[in-house]
Structure 1
Amino acid sequence: MLKALKKIFSKGEEPAVSVAPTTPHTPASASPTSRARSSTGKSPRNTTAAANKKPAAAREQAPAQEPAKPAKPRRERIPRKPVVDTWKLEDFVVEPAEGKTRFHDFKLSPELMHAIHDLGFPYCTPIQAKVLGFTLNGQDAIGKAQTGTGKTAAFLISTITQLLQTPPPKERYMGEPRALIIAPTRELVVQIANDAADLTKYTGLNVMSFVGGMDFDKQLKLLESRYCDILVATPGRLLDFNQRGEVHLDMVEVLVLDEADRMLDMGFIPQVRQIIRQTPPKSERQTLLFSATFTEDVLNLAKQWTVDPVTVEIEPEQVASDTVEQHVYAVAGSDKYKLLYNLITQNDWSRVMVFANRKDEVRRIEERLTRDGISAVQMSGDVPQHKRIRALEGFREGEIRVMVATDVAGRGIHVDGISHVINFTLPEDPDDYVHRIGRTGRAGASGTSISFAGEDDAFALPPIEELIGRKIHCETPPAELLKPVPRKH
């Protein structure tokens, strides 16, 4: 009876077919950038763990009462017919310029060049020009660069090229990414994943992002619906998937650690170590590590996780951009909110970012602004991820005037047109000051930074001035900016 039932049900089952790439990318031979692999084209793996892995469809269809069976290899992908693309490299004309490196100067695929053309990037930034010369040849790299220098595109272009030049293994499971990018904050993960989606749109590579605070089941369904080529994740959520057996990291060809210094500060390194132990040995993967600072701890991590890495340091021409006008108001702590409210309302500012040091401060400022008729949102670790994404979109679209954030939550936020950054409290770390004011005055536009120096945080000003190499004039706010906040009825 059981055999008969199996026969009947097997006739009605549809074969599991994954979403195929838009454009096949199987070259005649593997790239020299690919690391040493076994003769089967697969990374060395724990055979017991491999036997326990099953494709998503197999997990759903296996009857509960039957003993576990060895996993069957998932069918090789059946590519769709390529989308007819009339774009040609000749459409992307960039004249050579002295002192500048073009993307044309590297051997990048037409699909990737098409995406770069769409994004309007004719020339490389300094870190892109330096890093790509090494990473496109398969070398490990350690990059020192501040936010806004183009480092994200640098490691994405290198990673995408590696995946396009090396054919994917024939035996492959849904939850086996070929490239893994780890970043410390949810916002930064979303930003990197969006940039990756823009750069891969003509390649057929699949990009996924996993962050905490979002529906686990939805992310799991996405993982089970198609192959994952590039996975961008925060350490905690990635470990959730890995420990449940949904994500396996034994086929990772490229590992990227972004903002390693911030991961150290946030205490993520034990989790990152646990993740890296699941990937192939460092001699069989390419590892790229980026950090805004090269502390001894960061360099020790790089030594453990890379093989003969090239080191690229890009020092900003100015620690604080000349496009940002900087002011400091000496004000009592009890008058800070009045000053903030009057600055925004009297000047009719429409896109302002306010920074505070603690999550409870951020919450109180946002609640008071909202109560007093100014549309505001908070961005801190206490806010669920779906609300953070909705808040960021509202701020980006101009529906919300003020975003109040902590340094951790504010890192990785890139919104055009922020006219003013206000430091409600001065940061204890001078580097955070530079990062904060860098949210305005971007892409050549001008911006203004205003810091409130009270009795509790004025001590933080001299180290900031030492870092940026200039004195910031400290002034007393005019009386009209300290008027009482009108009560709302």
Structure 2
Amino acid sequence: MNDDSNPSASAEDNAKKTEKEEKVGFKELELTEQINRALSDLGFTHCSPIQAKSLPYSLSGHDVLGKAQTGTGKTAAFLIAVFEDLLRQPAPEERFAGEARALVIAPTRELVMQIAKDATEIGKYTGLQVHALVGGMDFGKQLQSLHSRHVDLLVATPGRLLDMCERREVYLDQVEVMVIDEADRMLDMGFIPQVKRIVRMAPQKTHRQTLLFSATFSDDVLRLAEQWVYEPITVEIEPESIATDTVEQIVYLVSGDEKLPLLMNLITQPDVHNLMIFANRRDQCRVLHERLRNKGFKVGLLSGEIPQGKRVRTLDDFKNGRLQALVATDVAGRGIHIEGISHVVNYTLPDEPEDYVHRIGRTGRAGKSGKSISFACEDDAFRLPAIEELLGRKLHCEQPPEHLLD
């Protein structure tokens, strides 16, 4: 079939246009009054690029394949589409406990909890019920919540969702809208077999709307998209749009021995507030956290090996200024949405260039400026060229100032 006879193909071509467009106001999208009121409460007046590109298609019922990083507004993009669908399609008169109308799958507990929080805020005037299912937290409480009220929107990690489905506590056969968030990270974490089983429990792709988002469009992600989405519109937000506009990026050329004293001096600088520090592995993060704590710094640790309850308390302490810094792995840091992070430090340069973009996207959010400082030593400087290739430009490399090495 050629493009002339395929209306979705021409729509896809339009969605891929790269020229700058004027800002789109949410009022122009003819959203329901309940959603407009909530967006107004949140101070949202105009769409971010991913919202402006995807919402005209998702609101009209198209499947969407979106390339966008955390921090671009994609969560609100798919939540608005989900709530609009649920509001415009009346709920069945007869409903069973655990029977979800819409489903969002995300790879980490932090991300699921953040999406559920955002959903509660965006949907607060709708009367629709939002539930979150994550591993590592009280199973009984989550089960009690499912039984106590209807499930309009279910946000879940794959493992806990599959567990609930296999116990016949959750049913997906009535799902109208399915969102698969951060598909590339699902691949990285080995969740794809679980997600495939979950998708098979939902209606066929021709009988539901599917929105799939990924930071990268690797061959593996595109193959999965072929299986899960139906005649999708493809929208892409390139990483440099968030990696370069609001974040000043510096690379300090150091030896391995200079990294710790450099980091300790950075933490004490007067312009540093809510510092996030990334390292590649859990053991690196654990050792770094212990060393900083031993030096008297108030530092939290966020990684997959930390119990969920403690991770929640650590995030709360960080958000409320009770910690000077937070040490995190890429997986744990991916779902964090915290305003006011002034600096991000790459203690070790990431193995995957895309993770560099995710890391520095923790700062410079909501139109504010931020600063990213990367430490490049003899062990990881070789990763710089791949990062620069992804960004499409050279990074400024320099020796750190003497006063930061004392």
Give yes or no for TM over 0.5.
yes
Q: Deviation of residue 318 (structure 1)?
A: 3.3
Aligned to 1:182: 105
Equivalent of residue 183 in structure 2, options 260, 271, 293: 260
Going from structure 1 to structure 2, the CA distance change for 1:319 and 1:167 (only over 3 Å counts) comes to: closer
Equivalent of residue 291 in structure 1, options 214, 230, 244: 214
Matches within 5 A, 1:27-426: 99-316=22-239, 318=241, 320-345=243-268, 347=270, 349-426=272-349
**1:352-391 per-position Cα deviation (integer Å, ceiling 9, x unaligned):** 1000000011111111211211111111110111111111
Give the counterpart letter for 1:325 in structure 2: E
**1:413-434 per-position Cα deviation (integer Å, ceiling 9, x unaligned):** 1111111111110111111112
Whether 1:461 aligns to 2:359 is no
Checking the alignment, whether the CA contact within 8 Å between 1:354 and 1:422 is kept in structure 2 is yes
Number of matched pairs = 386
Checking the alignment, whether the CA contact within 8 Å between 2:239 and 2:357 is kept in structure 1 is no
Going from structure 1 to structure 2, the CA distance change for 1:221 and 1:317 (only over 3 Å counts) comes to: same
Going from structure 1 to structure 2, the CA distance change for 1:475 and 1:397 (only over 3 Å counts) comes to: same
Distance between the aligned counterparts of 1:482 and 1:314, measured in 2?
38
Give the counterpart letter for 2:37 in structure 1: H
Q: Secondary structure at the match of 2:151?
A: coil
Checking the alignment, whether the CA contact within 8 Å between 2:66 and 2:236 is kept in structure 1 is yes
**1:71-93 per-position Cα deviation (integer Å, ceiling 9, x unaligned):** xxxxxxxxxxxxxxxxxxxxxxx
Distance between the aligned counterparts of 1:107 and 1:260, measured in 2?
30
Distance between the aligned counterparts of 2:74 and 2:113, measured in 1?
15
Q: Secondary structure at the match of 2:372?
A: strand
Whether 1:438 aligns to 2:358 is no
Q: Deviation of residue 289 (structure 1)?
A: 0.6
Going from structure 1 to structure 2, the CA distance change for 1:318 and 1:103 (only over 3 Å counts) comes to: closer
Aligned to 1:66: none
Distance between the aligned counterparts of 1:133 and 1:347, measured in 2?
44
Distance between the aligned counterparts of 2:76 and 2:333, measured in 1?
20
Q: Deviation of residue 317 (structure 1)?
A: 5.8
Q: Secondary structure at the match of 2:326?
A: strand
The structure whose RCO (Cα within 8 Å, separation 6+) is larger is: 2
Checking the alignment, whether the CA contact within 8 Å between 1:319 and 1:468 is kept in structure 2 is no
Distance between the aligned counterparts of 1:471 and 1:137, measured in 2?
41
TM-score, length basis structure 2? 0.91
Give the counterpart letter for 2:72 in structure 1: T
Checking the alignment, whether the CA contact within 8 Å between 2:71 and 2:362 is kept in structure 1 is no
Checking the alignment, whether the CA contact within 8 Å between 1:321 and 1:438 is kept in structure 2 is no
Give the counterpart letter for 1:185 in structure 2: T
Going from structure 1 to structure 2, the CA distance change for 1:202 and 1:253 (only over 3 Å counts) comes to: same
Q: Deviation of residue 240 (structure 1)?
A: 1.3
Distance between the aligned counterparts of 1:158 and 1:167, measured in 2?
15
Aligned to 1:477: 400
Could you tell which deviates more after superposition, 466-475 or 395-404? 466-475
Checking the alignment, whether the CA contact within 8 Å between 1:381 and 1:409 is kept in structure 2 is yes
Give the counterpart letter for 1:137 in structure 2: S
Distance between the aligned counterparts of 1:263 and 1:353, measured in 2?
23
Q: Secondary structure at the match of 2:243?
A: coil
**Identity of counterpart residues, as a percentage?**
63
Checking the alignment, whether the CA contact within 8 Å between 1:319 and 1:467 is kept in structure 2 is no
Going from structure 1 to structure 2, the CA distance change for 1:353 and 1:174 (only over 3 Å counts) comes to: same
Higher helix proportion (structure 1 or 2):
2
Distance between the aligned counterparts of 1:257 and 1:275, measured in 2?
11
- RMSD over aligned CA atoms reads 1.6
Checking the alignment, whether the CA contact within 8 Å between 2:99 and 2:174 is kept in structure 1 is yes
TM-score, length basis structure 1? 0.76
Q: Deviation of residue 335 (structure 1)?
A: 2.6
Q: Which runs of 5+ in 2 are unaligned?
A: 1-20
Going from structure 1 to structure 2, the CA distance change for 1:120 and 1:345 (only over 3 Å counts) comes to: closer
Q: Secondary structure at the match of 2:201?
A: coil
Distance between the aligned counterparts of 1:434 and 1:313, measured in 2?
15
Q: Deviation of residue 114 (structure 1)?
A: 0.8
Checking the alignment, whether the CA contact within 8 Å between 2:242 and 2:361 is kept in structure 1 is no
Distance between the aligned counterparts of 2:338 and 2:207, measured in 1?
38
**1:130-169 per-position Cα deviation (integer Å, ceiling 9, x unaligned):** 2222222222111112222221111111111111111111
Give the counterpart letter for 1:201 in structure 2: K
Q: Deviation of residue 480 (structure 1)?
A: 3.8
Distance between the aligned counterparts of 1:340 and 1:317, measured in 2?
26
